[in-house]
Amino acid sequence: MRKIRQTMVLMCLLTLLLAVPALAQKIELAVGAGGYFPVNLTGVGNAAAIEGSVAYRVASVPLLSAYVEVPVVGTLNSSVTTLGLTSSASYSALFVAPGLRVKFAPGFFVSPWFAAGGGLAHFSANSGLRQLGGSDSTNTNVFDYGGGLDIKIAPYLSVRGEVRDFYSGGLGFSLATFNQRQHNIVTTGGLVFRF
């Protein structure tokens, strides 16, 4: 009986020691790469995307944590194949949308999360789009929402997969179809460093 009690006390102490570093990890830095998929634009192709984000935990209870986060997503050249263009045309985008992220079961091996925020979208045209007139670049408002999954691979390191929709104002280039609000879906996979 005494041996069982000692084993239980030892297991409780070990669990407590392992839980303390997890509670102390308030900052998450994430990097990832993936794809950019503009949804309601005709004649616009998909492109590669890269993402970086920083998040700070502001509240936590045993199975739920809330973070303030700043995701920054950049897309590479999205081709435009609209009639009237005589040369190759493309644009790139940058999204910065600070917001709130809620993570479920943050101390577990697998942690799903949801996020929402708002900020700024910046679209830059290359020379093929500029030939039609209009501006080289446009800034507009953006609202983002999405979710993902973090899978722990080490005490301070996780693998992350996520999908976000950056719902933005129009691109602002001279083509009429580029001046309506649009969904910009970004999917990425990468690493999360916690400290």
Closest CA to 187 of 29, 79, 50: 50
Q: How far is CA 29 from CA 5, 26, 67, 96, 192, in A?
A: 41, 10, 12, 15, 6
Take residue 195 and report the two structure tokens written for it: 């400290």
Q: Are 182 and 170 in contact (CB under 8 A)?
A: yes
Q: How far is CA 18 from CA 2, 87, 178, in A?
A: 24, 59, 52
Closest CA to 29 of 9, 56, 5, 66: 56
Q: How far is CA 50 from CA 65, 72, 195, in A?
A: 25, 8, 22
Q: What is the pLDDT of residues 32-86, one digit of tens each?
A: 999 999 887 667 789 999 999 999 999 999 899 999 999 999 998 888 776 555 5
Q: What is the pLDDT of residues 160-180, one digit of tens each?
A: 999 999 999 877 666 655 677
* Domain architecture of the chain: domains with CATH: 25-194 (2.40.160.20)
Highest-confidence range of 23-37, 42-56, 109-123, 129-143, by mean pLDDT? 109-123
Non-local CB neighbours of 44 within 8 Å, separated by 6+ positions: 38, 78, 79, 80, 81
Q: How far is CA 190 from CA 17, 77, 113, 128, in A?
A: 28, 21, 15, 32
Amino acid at 65: S
Tell me the whole-structure pTM to 2 decimals. Answer: 0.81
Which SS3 state, helix, strand or coil, does residue 98 take?
coil
| Confidence band for 20, pLDDT divided at 50, 70 and 90 | very low
